[in-house]
Amino acid sequence: MLFIAGLLAAITALVATVIYANVDAKRILTAPTVPATEFDPTASTAPAATVEPAPTTSRVPEVLSPEEMASKVGATIRLLRTLDPQGQPVQGTAFVVGSFGGQTMLVTSFALVKASTRTPSPDILLGDRNQKATLWTWQENRDLALLVVGGAIESLPWATEPAKAGDRIFVAPAGQKITPGVVRATSDASIEHNIFIDDARQGAPLVNPKGEIVGMASKVYDPNGKGTDTLFIGVPIRLVCDRLLRCGAGNTTPGETTPAATTPAATTTTTTRR
């Protein structure tokens, strides 16, 4: 009897142990999961970093990149080909300054088209398509000439402020790379700069870093006799309003200029580099 009683007690204890273990395991498997956002002992207690929005790129930059400059200026300049007074081929640049009555007006260096002031005159051809231009009027002592062609060509805005000493400046000749330089000094009648002007750069626009016209590049213009092999004198763009054009308020759009005369008008003297 004692043996049977002891065996029954051992069986009872074993069953109780198994039941307890099963209940405990079920409790562990069905325990609710605590969200990580409520407590995470490995997480940092420092506040989250504030992320600033990326700067917008939709604004037009104040200063153009070389690629933007070339694209903007390229649409308004034209390669100019003609003959000099000795009948030799010459070429340079002309650039658009406005439009009137279905025609486009371009400014260039008078030195390039001087032979066309005489009769018979050589053709003045513009661009790759050799569009024929008419010499409308000129101002020889300022090395300025106004050409007219049919149709419309995109125009660059003029700078609202004149160039001043220390400004960056660029010459934009047709068929060549844009060349940078620095303004050395200015006056109402001149822009002194350090960009070398050869035959092909004559008549090209001088522009600021925004791509706005401040003047015209000249190889011969030297009103004060200061020009050297390293100092060249540009013609301020506003001087075209004295004789060549009737300019509107600021000339910021092509429609604000009209030809100043219907027949050529010229001065009788020219200032050349010494």
Q: How would residue 258 be classed by pLDDT, with cut points 50, 70 and 90? A: low
- What size, in residues, is the chain? 274
- Percent of the chain scoring above 70 in pLDDT: 68
The single-letter code of the amino acid at 140 is E
Q: What is the pLDDT of residue 37?
A: 35
| Interval 109-116 mean pLDDT | 97
Mean pLDDT score of the chain: 77
pLDDT tens for each residue of 168-186: 999 999 989 999 999 999 9
CB 174 within 8 A of CB 80: yes
Q: What is the pLDDT of residue 256?
A: 53
- The residues, ordered by sequence, that sit 6+ positions from 164 with a Cβ below 8 Å of its Cβ are 183, 186
Domain boundaries, the chain: 66-259
* Strand (E) or helix (H) holding 71: helix 66-74
Q: What is the pLDDT of residue 182?
A: 97
Q: How would residue 249 be classed by pLDDT, with cut points 50, 70 and 90? A: low
Q: Which CATH class is domain 66-259?
A: mainly beta
Q: What is the pLDDT of residue 259?
A: 61
Q: What is the pLDDT of residue 152?
A: 86
Which of 103, 211, 236 has the alpha carbon at shortest distance from 156? 211
pLDDT tens for each residue of 146-165: 999 999 888 889 999 999 99
